[in-house]
Structure 1
Amino acid sequence: MAAKDAELRDVLNSMKGRPMAPQDKAPKLREVVVASEPTNHGTLVGHVGASEFNVGGPDGVGHISPGPNPYDLLSASLAACTAMSVRFQARRQKIPLERLEVGVSFQHGAQGEKNSFERTLVLGEELNPQQRAFLVEAANQCPVGKILGISADIHTRLDTTTAGHNASAPASYEDDLEELSIPYIDPD
């Protein structure tokens, strides 16, 4: 047994200072966990890494918990990814982007149509038309947008502000929950 321990120690010592093998550098999966708050059972709290955030929406007993609901979080994911993609490409191409704002809203599609996201980009005024077109294309290439675009339409437009441009009725997460056809099961 002592010989095996010595052999293992020699192997570990020989590995010191050597770079890790590629399989050891596999990216860590980040998991978002949403759990009920132990002190307030109607509140849901999301956790990712060291960050926490409230998740809003119906609590099951007739109240609406504060915070962004799942549709808001989905829209925020698209807005954040879009902003990061545009900023990355602007820096990569040395485009002088001093102002960037991305607004996203989610709407249900009419009967038989896809749901959609309305995305508004506000880019700095110092850009020429070619730079603007390039950055709109960068927005349309964001990874989250590609994933969401499989089952929803994403409409992107340039504007001078993101506020107040949603003319259609937004999707209501609370209304959608009420429409779920979940049968009542009597726990006898």
Structure 2
Amino acid sequence: MENTSNFLVMRDPNTKRSRGFGFVPYTTVEEVDATMNARPHKVGGRVVGPKRVSCGMEKSQRPGAPLTMKKVLVGGINEDTEEHHLRDYFEWYGKTEVIEIMTDRGSVKKRGFAFVTFDDHDSVDKIVIQKYHTVNGHNCEVRKALSKQERASASSSQRGRSGSGNFGGGRGGGFGSNDNFGSGGNFCGHGDFGG
């Protein structure tokens, strides 16, 4: 990032003052990886936190949403999927800290989804660039996992719109409500250097 001359600083449309973040375009994923691996970065003497973004940002990546999530929700896992299957797959993206396969209360019956927590938010950002992943031979949908408080906040700001903003359907319900969260798989080569 030292010699970057191509960037966009986001400004308030009324005051023209910086909003405290911007974007740096990259040509390849490898350039983004190199930037993320060389953290921390300084701009104007201040440490900045780079984050991956894609052109088709999902709703949990849009302004006002937390940008440094370390947990993903893996929906649509099969009954025979075990913790080691998830660990083997997701360790390619970064070091996993916790893997939780959700079960019915008071039972060992699996509910069809899991949470995977990483030691770094960049692992999550790399994963969600691609919406669908194949884990243990099954196609799964992966999204950033919002806390209950974040879901409630997002829900209140989304009132009147279709879709539930989560995997929908309640207990063991249908994954993929009528809210498609954008394209999710398009990498457009931007690194976000937010403040």
After TM superposition, is the score higher than 0.5? no
Greater helix percent: which structure? Answer: 1
Pick 1 or 2: higher relative contact order, CA cutoff 8 A, min separation 6. 2
Greater strand percent: which structure? Answer: 2
